[in-house]
Amino acid sequence: MNESESHGHIPAPLGSVEPHAPLLSVPSDGQLLYKISSVENLLRSIVGNYLHFNRVDSYADFPGADPHDGRQLPKDQQGNSLARFEKSPDFSAANYYDQSRARTYACCFSLENSDFIWKNYANGSEKGKVGVVFEFGRLRTMLNQTLQPGNAALKYNGNQCDQIFSVNYGIVEYVDWDTHQANVDHLQNPIRYTYLKDKERFSEEKELRISLSAMGIGQFALKDGSMMQFPSSLQLAFDFKAAIADGAIQQILYASDSDSDFLQAELHKLRIVSSKG
């Protein structure tokens, strides 16, 4: 393995659209996706025109969160630690996976409108919770257009930077976390760990996730010489009104105890009017 690219100053690699698609499983374009959100967070996202992405190593702020999200498997750890970079023998594949994980973000959906997702997500809201129903193919097209190389830019601490995040889509694979080994034949691309979760604890999620990931080698330097830090969350530009008009958003479902009158009134102020039913 060779890590020579991490030394010296070279231009940061630009993000790309679905570079790891052959490694991941995706549903058909017409597949519906369900995202549970608090009423308050949905309104913030609509007003701010963004989809919220969490860094995968920071899911620890709610009951049932996965502290191992995106982490290399326990059975892979030893082999990954023994694999070293030729020109940086103190930097192992395990270090590379850990650094990649700290630069990877996810936005999560469910393939099923299940009791499980309504019970376990977006709890503690004063106004209740809603479920936004997306169509996968149209959502994918919208985001890919936004993130096409040359079309997108990254804002960091008020600075406009090159867009360094690659977008991928995939259905999460649920495995026996303690016994499954992925690196038996060869080292894994770090994106694979982003789409593996513990079967016993999380299989009921039926998760489809969208990931944004930056290269896990080297550091990203700004023009002033300071190093870019990766915050615990990102906001990806997303026009909810355009998504509704295009059909990327199909419905907004209400929990029985949510304040639907409040949400309808706020949506009306935003010129989003519900249809009957």
Inside any domain, residue 108: yes
In a domain, 275, yes or no: no
Is 92 a member of any domain? yes
Q: Pick from 233, 216, 187: which is nearest to 55 by CA?
A: 233
Q: What pLDDT tens digit does each residue of the chain (277 aa) get?
A: 334 344 456 777 889 999 999 999 999 999 999 999 999 999 999 999 999 999 999 986 666 789 999 999 999 999 999 998 777 788 899 999 999 999 999 999 999 999 999 999 999 999 999 999 999 999 999 999 999 987 888 888 888 888 999 999 999 999 999 999 999 999 999 999 999 999 999 999 999 999 999 998 888 888 888 888 999 999 999 999 999 999 999 999 999 899 999 999 999 999 987 765 4
Residue 276 lies in a domain: no
- Helix, strand or coil, per DSSP, at residue 93: helix
Range of the domain at 182: 4-269
197 lies in some domain: yes
Nearest C-alpha neighbor of 249 from the set 272, 225, 276, 219 = 272
Number of domains the chain is built from: 1
pLDDT at 130: 97
- pLDDT reported for residue 161: 85
Burial class (CB in 10 A: 0-12, 13-18, 19+), 195: buried
Give the pLDDT confidence score for residue 13 in this predicted structure.
81
3-state class percentages of the chain: helix first, strand second, coil last, to nearest 5? 30, 25, 45
The predicted pLDDT at position 5 comes to 41
Domain presence at residue 274: no
| Domain membership flag for residue 27 | yes
Question: pLDDT tens for residues 228-237?
Answer: 899 999 999 9
pLDDT at 150: 78
